[in-house]
A and B are shown apart, each in its own frame.
Chain A
Amino acid sequence: MSKKKIVLAEDNSVLALLLKFKLEKSGYDLQIAEDGKQAIELIESHQPDLILTDIMMPYLSGLELISHVRNKLNLETPIIVFSAAGQEENVLSAFDLGATDFMAKPISPNELVIRIKRLIR
């Protein structure tokens, strides 16, 4: 069976590197996008099984990303949103727009893997 594909939109390079290491070790294929627009390109070309995105991102915010995936691409791909504390309003809008799950930063990579496993088997 082929590896499950995941697209990660995150602008902190070390965190991206760490999650790539962790998730690849857990048996996933991870593509990293530095901003929202790049993420959309990756999603369109790779058809991932799951999307991870930060809410605050350059140019195209996480909210717009979700809206694009759900409304323009009409995809049901599960989306996990990362947000810094104190952005409750943004998290609510994210769920309104169709986010599947959310994790507050700082993130625990182990917890992330568990949540991913629950969403895609």
Chain B
Amino acid sequence: MEVILLKILDIFLFIFVMYTFSVVSSYIILGIISTKETVSYFKKNSFVNYKNIMSSEDSPSISIIAPAYNESLNVVENVRSLLSNHYVNYDVIIVNDGSKDDSLEKLIAAYDLEKIDYLLNEQIPTQPLREGVFKSKNPAFAKLIVVDKENGGKSDALNVGLNISTSKYVACIDVDCLLLEDALQKLVKPFLEVTDSKVIATGGVIRIANSCVIKNGKMLEINFPKKMIVRTQILEYLRAFLLGRMAWSRLNGLLVISGAFGMFDRKIAVDVGGYDVKTVGEDMEIIVRMRRVMEEKKIKYRVFFIPDPLCWTEAPESYKILISQRNRWTRGTIETLKKHRKMGLNPKYGKLGMISLPYWFIYERMAPLIEVVGLIYFIVLIYMGGVHWEYAITFFFLAYLFTVLFSLLAIFTEEMTYNEYKKKGVGFKMILTILLEPFLLHPVILYAAVRGNFDYYFNKNKKWGVMVRTGLKKEDS
């Protein structure tokens, strides 16, 4: 009996060592690819003249689709900022998803809206309209379309937007994000520039706006927040976007475009059936599905990622909200991977099936579980008195140093390119954040991911986590 148990523990040890080793090597490879790609993107784009594209009426049409649910507090201001993007040929479709507050009334009053007759081509089935479709009587707001519909959730609202839009491209965003005024030009660029394959979607970096000063829909002052919980998230985002997604974009293996800010070829998005209303991970799911269809049709395609800081959003400032957000992300990932499991390790789906999906499964989906099993294993060992402490401590030390170095690489990439946190003294705070993050943020995220797994399997009725908004800080208004 004892012998068998020891054998099992040995096998466990072997698996953990191999897993850790492969994680470390994949991070190193992705990190190197990303850094190179980000710096090269930055260099290439310092020469671009966007002026002609933004003012040309021959530029392709774009619709911004922004679903709004009970956003009465900020909706008028946010729409105003969406209307002032530097691009000629675009419209803004605000989908009021059955809000129970006075969002619609406020929009009607602020933008002089009137109801119009509209023959809706319901290419994607959705919840019915409630008050209908509105446009402004004032030519200054000619770009604005407001749709009022019965509540159906974010995906359903986005689908209504897809049905209404007649543009070539759609930019799906969260209404409470701050989009910088050159966001559309930059996001549409890969669609227009790539000539050897079909670009189906582009996504951008999400930056954290807490503590920043925003005025008139314009970023006036970028500050490094005081709260450690936000600081660690900034670090986490920089690592994920500048070191992770950039590499996957280079390898054409990107599986996620943040729901907060992404652009799609409308026809393709509609043809694959729009957003899935049954998942909480709709932003990842639609990309995987679009890729799947392209693979099945054997069309050469690309998904691009833009490192420019174009979209700023508010990050949770309390652990409770952070945990519920990550819980939701975890369930979204599980649902998407499960729905598309057929493609995993299926050579018919090329790189998508053989590399991206398995990687995502092993290193994103399974990572928290493996970590937890590892912890339990360690505790069992302690209990049995089988821990070689000198090994354990050296391993721990090594892992910590590696994490810290990887974070430092992300910070270096950021400093050498966009260098958004210019103020004096922030450098030291960043290093401090790097050193503390493994102890402060990581356990919370691990916990949230485990909770997500638990809720997914044992608590099916789990509702959407509610994000309590504190509102982007504005200097006036």
Contact = CB atoms under 8 A, between A and B. Distances in A.
Instruction: Check whether chain A touches chain B (CB < 8 angstroms).
Output: yes
Given A85-B55, A97-B140, 16 more contacts: A36-B216, A57-B84, A59-B81, A60-B80, A60-B84, A61-B83, A61-B140, A64-B140, A67-B140, A84-B51, A84-B55, A88-B57, A89-B57, A90-B88, A93-B142, A97-B139
A19 interface: no
Nearest to B181: A58
Nearest to A90: B88
B61 to A, nearest CB: 13
Given A87-B55, A89-B57, A96 B139 contact: yes
A20 interface: no
Nearest to B52: A86
Contacts of A58: 84, 181, 216-218
B88 A61 contact: no
Contacts, number: 53
- Size band of the B side of the interface? 20 to 34
Interface of B: 51-52, 54-57, 80-81, 83-84, 86, 88, 138-140, 142, 181, 216-218
B139 A93 contact: yes
Interface of A: 35-37, 56-61, 63-64, 66-67, 84-90, 93, 96-97
B139 A63 contact: yes
A76 B371 CA distance: 70
Nearest to B81: A59
A96 to B, nearest CB: 6
A78 B218 CA distance: 28
5 contacts: A57-B84, A59-B216, A59-B218, A85-B55, A86-B56
Contacts of B57: 86-89
A60 B86 CA distance: 11
Contacts of B80: 59-60
Contacts of A56: 54-55, 86
A66 B86 CA distance: 18
